Chain A
Amino acid sequence: KAGVTQTPRYLIKTRGQQVTLSCSPISGHRSVSWYQQTPGQGLQFLFEYFSETQRNKGNFPGRFSGRQFSNSRSEMNVSTLELGDSALYLCASSKGQGVDEQYFGPGTRLTVT
């Protein structure tokens, strides 16, 4: 079974631009979560989608948004990029919520200059 895939793997953007990251979950998984990982803050939860509905949202500004499609694939968008948005963005999928463990993709490394 193929794992979680994320595209692109690396991205360099300029401050003020916007970016869209994509995540394809493991086949049969209906829940997708997004995390931001930085050396200083660790892993911070962005949002979680289940069956195309956002079920949970972390404490990030409205510049961060996401969506999930009917095939469970998910995208996240960051508008008006800031230098502090430079991070590794991780996507994780699970069969459902609660007891199910999450399976992580390799991440998208975003650098904002």
Chain B
Amino acid sequence: AQSVAQPEDQVNVAEGNPLTVKCTYSVSGNPYLFWYVQYPNRGLQFLLKYITGDNLVKGSYGFEAEFNKSQTSFHLKKPSALVSDSALYFCAVRPAYSGAGSYQLTFGKGTKLSVIP
């Protein structure tokens, strides 16, 4: 079965500084990778996804993520953090091949991002 690890429960960054939220995954075969954000008392919002092609994926609100197959990582990045980026971020993976065992979308435990003014 696939799994996702988000090694940091919390990331603190000063406003205007670059931010990185880390994600590593384990899956049979090629992965489909996703990032979601959750604001307090809200559902999750889709940020970006990697399906195939260019390893650098750009998404909503200035976020981007880099797929690294050799390191099985999909870290979320933003060049300049805003206070409004403070939220809970989830990385998710599912196998590209539906026959590769469990085909469900599997989420990491989430990383709380706090951007300090």
Contacts and interface: CB of A to CB of B under 8 A. Distances in A.
Q: Are both chains from one complex?
A: yes
Interface of A: 4, 33, 35, 42-43, 45, 48, 55-56, 58, 90, 92, 97-99, 101-107
A55 B103 contact: yes
B44 interface: yes
Contact of B44 (A45, A56, A92, A99): A92
B87 interface: no
A79 to B, nearest CB: 22
A90 B102 contact: no
B32 A99 contact: yes
B109 interface: yes
B95 to A, nearest CB: 9
Interface stretch (B18-26, B45-53, B68-76, B77-85): B45-53
Interface of B: 32, 34, 36, 41-46, 49, 51, 90, 94, 96, 98, 102-110
Contacts of B46: 101-103
Q: What DSSP secondary structure best describes chain A's contact surface?
A: strand
A99 B41 CA distance: 27
A4 B32 CA distance: 23
A98 B96 CA distance: 7
Contacts of B104: 33, 45, 48, 56, 58
Contact of A90 (B44, B106, B108, B110): B44
A58 B51 CA distance: 23
Given A48-B104, A101-B34, A101-B49, A43 B43 contact: no
